[in-house]
Amino acid sequence: MEQQDAVVDLAGRRIVVVGGAGDIGSALVGKLVALGAVVGVVDRDAYALAALAGKAQGANPLRTCQADVCDEQAMARAFAEFSPEIDGLVNAAAIENRPTPIDQFDVETFRRIQDVNVTGVLLGMKHAIPLMRESGGSIVNLSSTAGIKGSPGMAAYVASKHAVIGLTRCAAVEWGEYDIRCNAVCPGPVESRMIDAIFGSEPGAPSQKAKARMAVIPSRRFSTPEEVANLVAFLLSDAARIINGACYSIDGGLSAI
């Protein structure tokens, strides 16, 4: 059988991005819209959703739905709006913790981060998979290099991102026979609000802590949201149709250290 070169073609694909109003999420939404996908965005920030809808430029109108990823009823209602079928899901919603040693960590903060970063991913998959069961699809969960490495002061975030990889692998094993693929993307530090908060930077002005972190990355810089979006778009496409249960680092070589 002759092999043909695969391309990232998402024209007409119905893809839901949970947490799509954040830095990586909004870059991905712009990418998917430009590639011709029919995109639905779920986020808790109504103002950010409205702004995102106003900027989206593509053949298909952007569909938005406000919902808290931790609220199962809200998530069920959100996915009901995208029925009867979708072709792809991206779980991109996440929050971080302020750098804090484990012996000083507030338990309620720890639980809140697990709820958003882990339960949110579970609920996204739980309500998306029935919409893919008939025709298959692709799920991409945003983990992090924090999902494969430790980081001092970041126990809650690191624990949550390790859990995302576990959920990804379980879904890949459970649903592969239905032609539903599930993969994880593990960005290193990305130019974003979250990284500015962790390193105490101002937008466009890295702090000394951020510069020190860049210095140990082989590429000597942070990734951009658009670079992460390119990888996610590939995994959503038929160009990646045999890839299932994989975890892709996109970190300038940080995870190789």
Residue among 91, 84, 106, 116 at smallest CA distance from 28: 91
Cis preceding linkage at 84, omega within 30: yes
Cα distance between residue 151 and residue 173, in whole Å: 29
Cα distance between residue 161 and residue 94, in whole Å: 9
The pair of structure tokens assigned to 180 is: 């539903």
**Strand stretches in 55-206, DSSP E:** 63-66, 88-91, 137-142, 180-187
The pair of structure tokens assigned to 58 is: 């593509």
CA angle 68, 72, 74 (to 5 degrees): 50
Are 15 and 86 within 8 A, CB to CB?
yes
Exactly one of 47, 157, 178, 248 is catalytic; which is it?
A: 157
The pair of structure tokens assigned to 194 is: 């979250």
Cα distance between residue 129 and residue 9, in whole Å: 22
Please measure the distance between the N-terminal and C-terminal CA atoms of the chain and give it in whole angstroms: 41
157 is catalytic: yes
Cα distance between residue 257 and residue 29, in whole Å: 31
The number of beta carbons lying within 10 Å of the beta carbon of residue 2 is 3
Q: Active-site residues: which are they?
A: 157
